[in-house]
Amino acid sequence: MNSQKRKKKNGLGGRQSSAETSNKLKEGATSVKLEAMKDATELSQLAGGASKKKRNSSIKKNADNTDRKDTVRDLDSETKQESSLPFDTSQISVVQLDKIQTSLFTTDNPEQTNATEATAIKEKVLELEDRTVYLERQLDQLKKGILELLANKSTLKANQGWFYDARYTADLPNLHAPEFWDKHVKRWVGPEPFLEFRNVFELNNTYKIEIKIFDFITTEAKKTFNLEIDGVTIPWDSQTNSVYVATYVSRITNSAIVRFAVNESKKPSEMILGATDNRILAFSFGYVIIKQVSV
């Protein structure tokens, strides 16, 4: 009986022990599960932090690389701006140095170009100075001629005369442009072989007619040089130093045609070997004076 009681007791105790053990196991499992969940959370946090650090590190690295590339690009840009050489200096071979040196000292070289331009400007300035001196000389001669003309005009006006100088504008027909040399000025007559204009003469008054000749186109033209007034030939009184002088006593009371003429006019290019002057010329003169004189 006691044995049975022990068995029962032992059976109950065994069951109680099993239940306690099961509870303890459940509690342990729960504790382990909680610890595992806690560890998983911590691991997740650690993993997230590591990922964030890695991402931040990657971003920082990319930013650094970008800054470094921008810096390199800026340096390259500055280097290119500072360099005026038309080639990549990192790829220059020894053989190319001679070509580069040659290119630097050709007309493409700014310094040599400036020197060339300076030389050209200097030559132009010298040319202008020469022309200025020439023009000043011509102005002096013109001034002298004007003074002489004013003096002559005052006399000619009183004597009712007429005066024309080769320096004047070509208001007379059949004249070429004036030619200047030393202290002289002349105009060529052409293409027609005569110089012709109108002048007023007073009846029964005596006039002195004078013309300064420089050239005749031919010897034959010189021989035939004559003066006509209204178609009447007036003989020359003298021909001293190429100054032809004639005296005319007026038989008319109005204007008459005064005409100096030769028998021909020609082109110098057709007469002289190598000549290039294609103008048709008869004779050249410096001035004409017609003035009334006392008898």
147 with 61, same domain: the answer is no
Single pTM value for the model: 0.48
Using the predicted structure, report yes or no on whether residue 241 has a pLDDT greater than 50. Answer: yes
171 with 239, same domain: the answer is yes
Identity of residue 12: L
Give Cβ neighbours of residue 247 (< 8 Å, ≥ 6 apart). Answer: 206, 207, 208, 209, 234, 237
Using the predicted structure, report yes or no on whether residue 177 has a pLDDT greater than 50. Answer: yes
177 with 276, same domain: the answer is yes
Q: Into how many domains does the chain fold?
A: 3
Give the residue from 201, 216, 205, 293 showing the smallest Cα distance to 260: 216
Residue 7 included in any domain: no
Confidence of residue 88 (pLDDT cuts 50, 70, 90): low
121 with 132, same domain: the answer is yes
What pLDDT, on a 0 to 100 scale, did the predictor assign at position 15? 46
What pLDDT, on a 0 to 100 scale, did the predictor assign at position 159? 45
Identity of residue 104: L
Identify which of 29-43, 51-65, 167-181, 182-196 has the greatest average pLDDT: 182-196
83 compared with 97, residue with greater pLDDT? 97
**For residues 264-268, average pLDDT:** 96
Mean pLDDT, the chain, as a whole number? 74
Residue 1 included in any domain: no
Residue 125 included in any domain: yes
**For residues 269-294, average pLDDT:** 93
Q: How is residue 244 written in tokens?
A: 């032809």
Structural domain containing residue 268: 161-293
What pLDDT, on a 0 to 100 scale, did the predictor assign at position 25? 55
Using the predicted structure, report yes or no on whether residue 186 has a pLDDT greater than 80. Answer: yes
Q: How is residue 162 written in tokens?
A: 């007429």
Residue 105 included in any domain: yes
Using the predicted structure, report yes or no on whether residue 194 has a pLDDT greater than 70. Answer: yes
205 with 230, same domain: the answer is yes
Residue 20 included in any domain: yes
Query: Long-range contacts made by residues 165-173, C-beta under 8 angstroms, separation at least 24?
Result: 165/286, 165/287, 166/285, 166/286, 166/287, 167/142, 172/197
173 with 260, same domain: the answer is yes
Among 30, 51, 83, where does a domain finish? 83
What pLDDT, on a 0 to 100 scale, did the predictor assign at position 36? 54
CA angle, residues 65, 66, 72, in degrees to nearest 5: 85
Instruction: Sort strands 179-181 and 226-229 into parallel, antiparallel or unpaired.
Output: unpaired
Q: Residue 162 CB: number of other CB atoms within 10 A?
A: 19
147 with 173, same domain: the answer is no
Among 83, 104, 120, where does a domain finish? 83
φ and ψ at residue 253, rounded to 5 degrees = -120, 10
**For residues 206-219, average pLDDT:** 96
Residue 226 included in any domain: yes
Query: Cα–Cα distances in Å, from 104 out to 79, 95, 114, 155?
Result: 20, 15, 14, 73
Identity of residue 160: Q
Using the predicted structure, report yes or no on whether residue 180 has a pLDDT greater than 90. Answer: yes
56 compared with 137, residue with greater pLDDT? 137
262 with 278, same domain: the answer is yes
Among 83, 116, 132, where does a domain finish? 83
Confidence of residue 38 (pLDDT cuts 50, 70, 90): low
CATH of the domain at 213: 2.60.120
Residue 234 included in any domain: yes
> Can you list the positions of beta strands (E) in the chain?
162-165, 179-181, 184-189, 194-200, 206-216, 226-229, 232-234, 236-240, 243-249, 255-261, 283-293
Identify which of 97-101, 130-134, 204-208, 218-222 has the greatest average pLDDT: 218-222
Between CA 117 and CA 122 the distance in angstroms is: 9
Q: Is the dihedral of CA 261, 263, 267, 268 positive or negative?
A: negative
Residue 8 included in any domain: no
